[in-house]
């Protein structure tokens, strides 16, 4: 199958840091279809050879395991071409159209790795140049807008040009092997699904923690913040995967219909709940690994009086028969105590305690997303040191490391998602109504913060965020997994 991938923003950070390494891995693994051509688009005046040299130099900054050898890059680079474009000029789209017409590829993927403010311009110009053919697919990177109104405007503009089944709204978390295994755990096994409900589960915690600060993205982060950057998309998609009902089959719309039901079932916000169950924070100076790091307001491109949040923790519920009364806790932030993304499912204690150790939430399932990828099942058992007291149990755990079980050469998130676009599989992409419902739920938080004079709570870099986060979960009689 011949296909062309046109990469708008072809010299940008996302392209060289994520997309090119993913495309190379697919090429190396032999899963990139034969007849591929990758066309980088940017404002720079670059020849194909200079573009290839630029990409090669950028590979020095990606993970060592994803760097090509000189021989491998020579073969991969033969797929790369470059087109210089001013995205506001129709004549430049006409040139791109003529270039694509030279091959008449079976599939053309337009990947918009640009600022979302350019999405409407690009798709309208593509249509004006006749590049919105039935063979064309368009990939939209997050964030898709900064609020509900801007998201709707982008979706409306894209929907005027492309049908919904041609639009791939990407959330790379859905491409992670660990998230795929979350779906497999729930819907491919009979073990957990009967227990996956309010009668057996006490609470569910979703943590997406980063050690890094904003690095060189201070100016971008100032207009985004943790709520838009992580909660509205990644965290809510994880919540949907945990909370959704089993779909009738594995088709894209069957899965996305069930995720949409979860988003529509999230408990609505009230002023009282917003004040009590949503916490925002901003990291100050601290230490990570014994090394001093600056506070957010000292980062490059950040306003010295910034009120942008680098941390969010919240409590919510899914108001339906399966989950009524079960609290879902979400937290995410930068400059936290570790790089750790996980989902912790805490089961209720046994209804009648006959052992001395039945205290607290002894039974839990931990779904590790990063940096580890695997499952931990925490149980109670009787050890040899308890021979004198048969009524006392000790905690034990079953630990499954997917990297060890399946090997290190597993398909990465962007590699998986790019191959799905090429193969026209929409299962792991977000539908427009899903996205709008997520924005509708998040928007009251943004409005509340605008009127809140307190601003984000400070926390020291290298900690787990503001102390109020622990107080929030303690009101329900629970604690975060690292505190229990």
In this structure, are residues 176 and 209 in contact, taking their beta carbons and an 8 Å threshold?
no
Q: Which residues are catalytic?
A: 234
395-417 per-residue burial string, b: 16 or more CB within 10 A, e: under 16: eeeeeeebeeeeeeeebbbbbbb
* Closest alpha carbon to 32 in 429, 411, 422, 413: 422
């Amino acid at each position: 199958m011949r296909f062309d991938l046109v990469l708008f923003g072809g010299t940008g950070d996302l392209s060289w840091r994520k997309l090119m390494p993913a495309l190379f891995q697919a090429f190396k693994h032999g899963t990139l279809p034969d007849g591929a051509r990758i066309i980088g688009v940017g404002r720079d005046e670059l020849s194909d050879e200079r573009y290839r040299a630029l990409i090669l130099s950028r590979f020095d900054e990606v993970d060592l395991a994803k760097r090509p050898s000189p021989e491998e890059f020579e073969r991969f680079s033969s797929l790369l071409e470059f087109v210089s474009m001013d995205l506001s000029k129709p004549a430049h789209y006409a040139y791109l159209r003529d270039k694509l017409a030279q091959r008449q590829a079976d599939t053309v993927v337009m990947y918009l790795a640009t600022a979302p403010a350019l999405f409407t311009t690009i798709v309208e110009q593509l249509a004006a140049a006749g590049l919105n053919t039935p063979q064309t697919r368009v990939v939209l990177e997050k964030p898709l807008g900064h609020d509900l109104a801007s998201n709707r405007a982008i979706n409306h503009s894209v929907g005027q040009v492309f049908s919904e089944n041609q639009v791939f709204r990407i959330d790379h978390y859905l491409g992670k092997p660990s998230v795929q295994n979350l779906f497999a755990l729930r819907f491919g096994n009979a073990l957990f699904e009967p227990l996956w409900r309010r009668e057996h589960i006490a609470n569910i915690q979703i943590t997406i923690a980063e050690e890094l600060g904003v690095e060189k993205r201070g100016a971008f982060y100032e207009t985004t913040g943790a709520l838009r950057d992580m909660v509205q998309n990644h965290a809510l998609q994880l919540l949907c995967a945990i909370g959704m009902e089993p779909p009738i089959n594995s088709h894209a719309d069957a899965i996305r219909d069930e995720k949409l039901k979860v988003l529509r079932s999230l408990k609505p916000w009230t002023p009282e709940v917003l004040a009590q169950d949503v916490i925002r924070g901003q990291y100050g100076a601290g230490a990570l690994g014994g090394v001093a790091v600056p506070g957010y307001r000292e980062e490059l491109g950040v306003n010295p009086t910034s009120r942008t949040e680098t941390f969010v923790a919240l409590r919510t519920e899914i108001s339906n028969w399966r989950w009524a009364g079960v609290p879902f806790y979400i937290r995410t932030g930068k400059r936290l105590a570790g790089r750790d993304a996980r989902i912790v499912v805490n089961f209720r204690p046994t209804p009648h305690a006959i052992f001395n150790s039945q205290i607290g939430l002894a039974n839990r399932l931990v779904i590790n997303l990063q940096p580890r990828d695997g499952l931990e099942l925490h149980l109670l058992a009787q050890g040899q040191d308890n021979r004198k007291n048969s009524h006392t149990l000790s905690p034990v755990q079953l630990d499954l490391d997917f990297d060890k079980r399946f090997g290190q050469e597993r398909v990465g998130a962007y590699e998986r998602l790019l191959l799905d676009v090429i193969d026209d599989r929409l299962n792991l992409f977000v539908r427009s109504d899903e996205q709008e419902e997520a924005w509708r739920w998040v928007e009251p938080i943004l409005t509340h913060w605008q009127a809140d004079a307190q601003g984000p709570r400070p926390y020291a870099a290298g900690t787990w965020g503001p102390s109020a986060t622990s107080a929030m979960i303690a009101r329900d009689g629970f604690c975060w997994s690292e505190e229990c």
